[in-house]
Structure 1
Amino acid sequence: MTVARRRVPLGRLIFGGIVLSVLAGALLVEAYANAEFHPDPTVRAGQRTKVPAEVIGGGPIIDTRGGTVRSYRLPERTIALIFDDGPDPQWTPKVVEVLRRHHVNATFFVVGSQVVRHPEIVAGLVQGGDEIGVHTFTHPQLDRLPRWRRELEYSQTQLAVVHATGTKSALLRLPYTSSARAVDDTTWPLVQEAGRLGYLTVMADTDSRDWSRPGVDAIIAGATPPGDSGAIVPMHDGGGDRAQTVAALDRFIPAMQRRGYTFTTVSEGLARALPGQAVVVDAPTGAVDRRRAFALATAVVLADWVTAALRVLFVAAGLLTIARTVALFVLAGRHARRRRAASWRWGPPVMLPVSVIVPAYNEKEGIEAAVRSLAGGDHPGGIEVVVVDDGSTDGTAALVEAMRLPNVRVVRIANGGKPNALNVGVAMARHDLIVMVDGDTVFERDAIRHLVQPFADPSVGAVAGNVKVGNRRSIVARWQHIEYVIGFNLDRRLYDIMRCMPTIPGAIGAFRREALQHIGGISHDTLAEDTDATMALCRAGWRVVYEERARAWTEAPATLRQLWLQRYRWSYGTMQAIWKHRRSLLDRGPSGRFGRVGLPFIACFGLALPLLAPLIDVMLVYGLCFTGWQVTTGAWLVMFAVQVLTAVVAFRLDREKLRVLWVLPLQQIVYRQLMYLVLLQSLGTALTGARLRWHKLHRAGTAAAAAPRPVAAPPLVPAVVPAQGRRPGPPTGGAFAPAQAAAVRAGSAAGTVSAVTGDGRKPLTIR
């Protein structure tokens, strides 16, 4: 009838924007920091027309600072071990263990993204006397990057080192480079650029090729310098399995020491080669550097946490989707087979008369079609229709009165909301089987007859009907048609089997008067009065079932704004209802069973899964942009295939045509994100304790546009059938006890009465 509308405060919009910005930024930082790289292979030199001869024939340490070109070698029988691609939490400590056992220090050229994640390892290296050099932040192929990006790679690594050690480094080792002899026209500009930035570029004299894991003997042979010459020997402590490196190192160091070699760091080795000359000069650090270093480390750590959480939630969404799919296939299929079996019966045919309550607020567009369809039902026990005009200002009541249908009455009351209108209608109803209908809903001729048949079972207190979307022309309405079939009707089969039905739809639902009295009528406590009442019935021990043959056609919101308003109320109201009935988790008996079975099920599949489902699309975009698109696309297609299969099963069970499913892919991309945002807003509203006010949805009177046949004219004289016995059970009483209902009816002839209905406070004006 109405939906809630609430202006979202500017502060909340800003907060939401900040959250989304942090999330997007975290994913971008994670993608940057997680750039995949491969260990340094041996690279063959290309053309060297621009490379100076002193570099090609010089030593492995190249100094291009100040516009000059110099290269240096280590003294004879001096080895500087250098390690690339770390720190690695598994292999760097094992490398250090070997170094300490043989009383050797080395130079570690670190990857900045790894330093930020494992600063304690780098700090331990410095404290143990080892040296730190820069090996870029993400280990890219530098010649393929623009200059600003290369400088960023260096500076971000420096900040990571500052964060871990409090110092900077003047040593740089370019990824995917080997000896000075391999410097070519592509590499040389990078070396010159490094010099302008204040770095000494460090190459190698030997090539252990440990990155390819050729075997311990091959690694030792490749690392061994010829004769007694000094050498910078490269190995790796990160980037993969380094077991062979650790084993080779444990043999290589003592073997070279027996040959008279000493091991040192690059800076110490250069100081021995150039006594009295300070070639390696680390830049000083200041407070600004430390603040920037802290910000960088915080950003990467936060990105790691966010991404890890998203991965966990992604797995949770996948598991929930699979669990829901399996449960639907098994239980919903069982429900359909059982109810459609030739031998299935609820019991003796229900011939009791029925009262239909139609709460109406400004429903002039569709009220005539709705009332005509209700009054013209073929239920043999007879049908009375009570239209409760809830303070309409558009002449809704007058339109119904002008129809002059013999089994239709109009009750006019001051506007008090849908729960109050329903309670008034029940108090005015003459019969004990109550059908509640929205004012924009059109019933099929046999809907009421089918809807009340489950009451042959005395344990049944309420029945949910089959709601269909009548206006299916717009793509927004088609999305809702798919959702009604898959998300509502298919789920109701599942909940029926599990005996934990959470919601009887406001568009078509039937109740025993006794059951309604037992729960105190329709409550005003939540915005989802139908969900609240259904949960209360389940807790009170009444059985709530689904009757698929009772079909009603409703008008779905035709615009995204109207859809947003409607689902905002639904989502927020459902959260309110779950919170209201939370104590059932600790109860015993039927209430405890619903609390421990129904509430978790509703929370997982009604709230958590819709909230988590968009992560599938988020991870798809992330994967397409930053990881392998084949695996990402394959995983998304598998999840989509599961949803398509679920849709096909649901449409088959509901006897719907499949051709509308062509909009399903777009629904996954657009509609699901909209529902996600609605849930987030509802969750935010619930957490802040805000309350919503009511707002009327725009109606066009198109609920019956897709109905299979026109509504028949109403019978003039309803059939009169003797009443059947009612289930003895829970105590009666509540908002509209029989004595109160009699008082309301007695006063109706006078025109105005005062009666306790709904919340126990509001007087009724009845015409």
Structure 2
Amino acid sequence: MVNGQIENDALPHAHEGSDTSTHVPATVSEGGPVMDASSPTPHSVHIPANTIVLTFDDGPDPRWTPAVLEVLRRHHVPGTFFVVGSEAARYPWLLQDIRAAGSEVGLHTFTHPDLSTSSRMRVDRELTETQLVVNGATGESSYLIRPPFSSTAGAVDDLDLASFQLTESMGYMTVLSDVDSRDWQRPGVDAIVRNSTPPPGVGGVVLMHDAGGDRSQTVAALDRLIPTLQQQGFRFTTPTAALGLPPNNRPAPVADRVLGRTVLAAVGAAGAVVQVLTWALLVVGVLILLRLALMLVIAVRHKRLRHRRGFSWGPPVAEPASVIVPAYNESANIASTVRSLVASTHPVEVIVVDDGSTDGTADIVEALGLPGVRVLRQVNGGKASALNHGIAHARHELVVMIDGDTIFAPDTIARLVEPFADPTVGAVAGNAKVANRRGLIGRWQHIEYVMGFNVDRRVFDLGHCMPTIPGAVGAFRREILVAVGGVSEDTLAEDTDVTMAICRRGWWVVYQEHARAWTEAPASLGQLWRQRYRWSYGTMQSMWKHRHAVVERGAAGRFGRRGLAHLAIFQVLLPLLSPLIDVFLIYGLVFLDPWTTLALWGAVLAVQFVAAVIAFRLEREPMGVLWALPLQQIVYRQVMYAVLIRSTISALAGIRLGWQKLRRLGGLDTLLARNAAGTEPAEQAPPAPGSVVEDPEPLTEGAVLQRR
């Protein structure tokens, strides 16, 4: 707020002038530029004959104020500088230079408002804050003011006069002008000299400016004006000396000086903070945009490589797979999940590990009576424990691990195990999709899955540094799971932890976009918070656990310096700084030009929209949902920031979290059918296993369900 007020460039327009003047006495309107509004009959005073008072408004300015002072020093004349408090607070040393040169400092308000239309409280604040800046910078006070947008005595109207009387009651004296150089128009040096020259033998207060734009003409005109008028017999002085008034700049009370220095220190600190944040925002913005562009380029390359004519992982994989379903209170969806697995075109055994459910999850599965389905019961021990229990009882070397709220298409497992034809592939990440995407929160997560998670997996695949296989759909070689000690219980992100362990062993973890699975995403902000808090915290735990990979050699080092470094920079560090974007958006709307601010924000949003279009085309997803993207930036992104901040604090504090089971709404097959019947998410299904990938034929999610 301090720096916002300092930087405020929004100057109100002056009110209409003399048309409303009905009570301004002739003693004011026909008088001089120095007002005495405290007496019963207000009047104004002329500057004595052959006397010139040079005044400068709107400064100080680090370029032009020193240039003006240099001309004044060279000709041994004083000036009176009516300073804007916000500028003086930024350049307090210039006030010291003004006083050291023998010139005076007056007040021109803090933010340059029209005092005649301002409330008493606003007027008092404007002058008090400017006075404090002068106190802190020079150790002196000033009682001379020049109201912004003021002119000559003849232009004073009722509102002006009332404001003069108000400031007089506060202990200030108003100084207007009667000779306007019009230097703000930059009419040329000759014109400025001509405009600044009073009639022969007449005194006057000359209005010039030492800030507010290019003042080179003012400086050049001043250098000619002073010697010319001196040769004509004019003397140069200050308003107070010309009228025999007490000195304008007098020592301020100690308390005011201390308070003034405190204000200057606060302003300096605020300016420094804003400068640092501005550079940080610039760096963050550039890195985010560069990353976005680079990720999309690599993701497109991944798509082309996987879809090029003749691409094949190797001979078809016919080996059966063991599908492990850890389930804790999954009664809402477990029947749909198991049915979708049994309907697989690939031979499977299904192992449902009931982790101490209290809602009859295991009973539901047993009641289905489906062939090839086993139920294992255990005391509640967490997801990792349930997965390890299932791995220990798996009969096949290919192990698929999924969540208990996930629906597979009939060919998902066949697609998922295809890459195992390559002996260097140790695990496969499938394509997790949001099933309940018709609500706003569901749409936001759907956009995030397509733009974020799946684009990232394409990039990590090509970089051989995949950090996470989604818990909803992933496949592993059993021997590798045994080699890494199974699914670790050290972290909350067991899927990330085990994936990192596999990468460090030198195995290639790939992304299979055609192995689609639909999962029920959190349906409320509260559930979303709990889920993402666990994910974020667990990812940090996994990064810390595998941190030594950064300095290791071979495949482990490649994963550490690519995967872990990417996570640290782009999923922890930069997101922690990303709220600066929103802070500066609000700052710009309040203190800067709101239209320019909105235009810049719109440009960033446009870049994200283009990126979203590319990502959705890669996934062959309908783009109608992208209308929710702007709202995602306003609400959803802030929730993710808060989650990351809290997760970081929890990680630093070493807080332990539980599994944090989400409440399921159920009816996944109903959700998919509803989506397929509406405008979304009708998708393109992959070609049959083992065929050449060229142009997949369309297949809606509803059709997937019908084929079961």
Answer whether TM exceeds 0.5 for this pair.
yes
Counterpart of 1:606 (choices 564, 571, 578) is 571
**Residue ranges of structure 2 left out of the alignment (5+ in a row):** 676-708
Q: Is the 8 A contact 1:208 1:233 kept in 2?
A: yes
Q: Which range moved further: 453-462 or 215-224?
A: 215-224
Shift in Å, 1:135? 0.2
C-alpha distance 540-248 of structure 1, shift in aligned 2 (>3 A): farther
Q: Is the 8 A contact 2:466 2:510 kept in 1?
A: yes
Match of 1:738 in 2: none
Q: Is the 8 A contact 2:137 2:261 kept in 1?
A: no
Shift in Å, 1:236? 1.3
Amino acid at match of 1:253: I
Counterpart Cα distance in 1 of 2:148 and 2:108: 7
Match of 1:16 in 2: none
Amino acid at match of 1:318: G
Q: Which range moved further: 336-345 or 559-568?
A: 336-345
Secondary structure of the residue aligned to 1:155 is helix
Amino acid at match of 2:229: M
How big is each residue's C-alpha offset from its partner over 1:48-68, in whole Å with a ceiling of 9 and x where there is no partner?
Answer: 432221222222211223545
Match of 1:742 in 2: none
Match of 2:136 in 1: 163
Match of 2:107 in 1: 134
Match of 1:92 in 2: 65
Match of 2:499 in 1: 534
Counterpart Cα distance in 2 of 1:128 and 1:267: 17
Q: Is the 8 A contact 1:40 1:211 kept in 2?
A: no
Counterpart Cα distance in 1 of 2:578 and 2:451: 15
Q: Is the 8 A contact 1:170 1:282 kept in 2?
A: no
Match of 2:541 in 1: 576
Match of 1:429 in 2: 394
Counterpart of 1:551 (choices 516, 520, 523) is 516
Q: Is the 8 A contact 2:461 2:509 kept in 1?
A: yes
Amino acid at match of 2:392: A
How big is each residue's C-alpha offset from its partner over 1:14-72, in whole Å with a ceiling of 9 and x where there is no partner?
Answer: xxxxxxxxxxxx3xx44333222679999975454322212222222112235453433
Q: Is the 8 A contact 2:139 2:252 kept in 1?
A: no
Counterpart of 1:285 (choices 248, 253, 274) is 253
Shift in Å, 1:198? 1.2
Counterpart of 1:350 (choices 308, 311, 317) is 317
Secondary structure of the residue aligned to 1:65 is coil
Match of 2:484 in 1: 519
Counterpart of 1:628 (choices 593, 605, 610) is 593
Residue 410, structure 1, aligned to residue 372, structure 2: no
Match of 1:501 in 2: 466
Counterpart of 1:445 (choices 392, 407, 410) is 410
Residue 324, structure 1, aligned to residue 321, structure 2: no
Q: Which range moved further: 104-113 or 628-637?
A: 628-637
Residue 265, structure 1, aligned to residue 253, structure 2: no
C-alpha distance 187-383 of structure 1, shift in aligned 2 (>3 A): same
Counterpart Cα distance in 1 of 2:249 and 2:354: 87
C-alpha distance 202-97 of structure 1, shift in aligned 2 (>3 A): same
How big is each residue's C-alpha offset from its partner over 1:522-559, in whole Å with a ceiling of 9 and x where there is no partner?
Answer: 22232212122222322332211110111111111111
Counterpart Cα distance in 1 of 2:258 and 2:611: 53
Secondary structure of the residue aligned to 2:668 is coil
Counterpart of 2:433 (choices 439, 443, 468) is 468
Match of 1:681 in 2: 646
Amino acid at match of 1:699: R
Counterpart Cα distance in 2 of 1:474 and 1:709: 12
Amino acid at match of 1:208: S
C-alpha distance 404-241 of structure 1, shift in aligned 2 (>3 A): same
Match of 1:668 in 2: 633
Amino acid at match of 2:634: I
Counterpart Cα distance in 1 of 2:139 and 2:251: 11
Q: Is the 8 A contact 1:67 1:196 kept in 2?
A: no
Amino acid at match of 1:475: L
Residue 200, structure 1, aligned to residue 167, structure 2: no
Shift in Å, 1:394? 2.7
Shift in Å, 1:131? 1.3
Paired-residue identity, %: 55
User: Superposition RMSD on alpha carbons, in Å?
Assistant: 2.8
C-alpha distance 67-603 of structure 1, shift in aligned 2 (>3 A): farther
Residue 78, structure 1, aligned to residue 51, structure 2: yes
Match of 1:481 in 2: 446
Shift in Å, 1:202? 0.6
Shift in Å, 1:514? 3.1
Residue 644, structure 1, aligned to residue 609, structure 2: yes
Match of 1:3 in 2: none
Shift in Å, 1:467? 0.7
Shift in Å, 1:680? 2.1
Secondary structure of the residue aligned to 1:699 is coil
Match of 1:755 in 2: none
Q: Is the 8 A contact 2:11 2:113 kept in 1?
A: no
How big is each residue's C-alpha offset from its partner over 1:613-658, in whole Å with a ceiling of 9 and x where there is no partner?
Answer: 5544444444344433433332222222222222222222222222
Secondary structure of the residue aligned to 1:387 is strand
Q: Which range moved further: 597-606 or 233-242?
A: 597-606
Shift in Å, 1:604? 3.7
Amino acid at match of 2:466: M
Match of 1:14 in 2: none
Q: Is the 8 A contact 1:441 1:553 kept in 2?
A: yes
Secondary structure of the residue aligned to 1:358 is strand
Secondary structure of the residue aligned to 1:694 is coil
C-alpha distance 40-707 of structure 1, shift in aligned 2 (>3 A): closer
Q: Is the 8 A contact 1:37 1:239 kept in 2?
A: no
Structure ranking higher on relative contact order (CA contacts 8 Å, 6+ apart): 1
Secondary structure of the residue aligned to 1:499 is coil
Counterpart of 2:306 (choices 325, 339, 357) is 339
Counterpart Cα distance in 1 of 2:670 and 2:453: 21
Q: Is the 8 A contact 1:388 1:410 kept in 2?
A: yes
Counterpart Cα distance in 2 of 1:402 and 1:294: 79
Match of 1:215 in 2: 188
Residue 174, structure 1, aligned to residue 174, structure 2: no
Counterpart Cα distance in 2 of 1:269 and 1:81: 11
Residue 120, structure 1, aligned to residue 93, structure 2: yes
Residue 364, structure 1, aligned to residue 331, structure 2: yes
Counterpart of 1:152 (choices 125, 131, 141) is 125
Secondary structure of the residue aligned to 2:180 is coil
Match of 1:729 in 2: none
Q: Which range moved further: 362-371 or 544-553?
A: 362-371
Match of 1:725 in 2: none
Shift in Å, 1:180? 2.0
Q: Which range moved further: 583-592 or 553-562?
A: 583-592
Match of 1:456 in 2: 421
Give the alignment's TM-score, normalised by structure 2: 0.89
Shift in Å, 1:209? 1.4
Shift in Å, 1:423? 2.2
Match of 2:527 in 1: 562
Give the alignment's TM-score, normalised by structure 1: 0.82
Counterpart Cα distance in 1 of 2:75 and 2:504: 73
Counterpart Cα distance in 2 of 1:470 and 1:548: 16
C-alpha distance 307-358 of structure 1, shift in aligned 2 (>3 A): same
How big is each residue's C-alpha offset from its partner over 1:484-525, in whole Å with a ceiling of 9 and x where there is no partner?
Answer: 122212222222223322211001111122333343332223
Counterpart Cα distance in 2 of 1:201 and 1:282: 17
Q: Which range moved further: 599-608 or 206-215?
A: 599-608
Q: Is the 8 A contact 2:177 2:204 kept in 1?
A: yes
Q: Is the 8 A contact 2:493 2:534 kept in 1?
A: yes
Shift in Å, 1:565? 0.5
Counterpart Cα distance in 2 of 1:370 and 1:306: 53
C-alpha distance 650-37 of structure 1, shift in aligned 2 (>3 A): closer
Counterpart Cα distance in 2 of 1:709 and 1:292: 67
Residue 191, structure 1, aligned to residue 164, structure 2: yes
Match of 1:727 in 2: none
Figure out how many residues of one structure are paired with residues of the other and give that number. Answer: 675
Match of 1:736 in 2: none
Secondary structure of the residue aligned to 1:553 is strand
Counterpart Cα distance in 2 of 1:256 and 1:100: 16
How big is each residue's C-alpha offset from its partner over 1:110-149, in whole Å with a ceiling of 9 and x where there is no partner?
Answer: 1011111111221232244321111000112223323321
Q: Which range moved further: 304-313 or 88-97?
A: 304-313
Counterpart Cα distance in 1 of 2:145 and 2:47: 17
Match of 1:297 in 2: 264
Shift in Å, 1:563? 0.8
How big is each residue's C-alpha offset from its partner over 1:536-595, in whole Å with a ceiling of 9 and x where there is no partner?
Answer: 322332211110111111111111111110011111222222333333333332222223
